[in-house]
Amino acid sequence: MKRFLLAAGVLAGALSAVALTARPVQAQQSKVGDWNIEKRTQDAHCNASRGYKDKEDENRDYVIVITYSEKAIVMVMIYDGWEWDKVGEILRADVGTDDADIMKKAKWEVMDKTTVRGIFEYDQSMMDRLSKAKRLSVDFEDDDDDSIEMQIPRAGEALAALKFCEENRK
């Protein structure tokens, strides 16, 4: 699980202008439930990450990382049940929460065998929908086997803490 969280943190640093170092140094960190909110020194922005094992899915690991700036929202999803073949491949998927559609045919990039990343133009209504959600679903076109639903309890509190971190980052 720690390997997945580290990988998610590194990928979420996509907006970073500073090169990543081998050892992340924590500048700021807090917890909201089982979400980690952090600003690592090598990243330009704060990250909210949550990892868990799903007993209903062969005890597989799920990790989500969310970061944002005034220009973009970045989501990284790691699922050890995926076996993507081509790093850099672009996938299309509908994104939604338990009660609202967020985006149709959103673009996701394969980062490695178990990881995809979506970079979306910043949209406050998207953040509002995420903050009210308990689940986030990504329904890949023509690929029901790889479509996923991640649990994001306390997302509103985590995103509020992420906003606070972002407003107070050094």
Q: What is the pLDDT along the chain (170 residues), one digit of tens a residue?
A: 444 444 444 444 433 333 333 334 445 689 999 999 999 888 889 999 999 999 999 999 999 999 999 999 999 999 999 999 999 999 999 999 998 899 999 999 999 999 999 999 999 999 999 999 999 999 999 777 889 999 999 999 999 999 999 998 86
CA-closest candidate to residue 53, choices 44, 63, 43: 63
Q: Is 12 helix (H, G, I), strand (E, B) or coil?
A: helix
Using alpha carbons only, give the angle 93, 1, 75 rounded to the nearest 5 degrees: 30
Domain ranges of the chain: 2-167
Q: pTM to 2 decimals? A: 0.81
* Separation between Cα atoms, residue 32 and residue 154, nearest integer Å: 8
Give the domain 2-167 fold.
Immunoglobulin-like (2.60.40)
With beta carbons less than 8 A apart as the criterion, state whether 16 and 24 touch. Answer: no
Residue 129 host element (H or E): helix 124-132
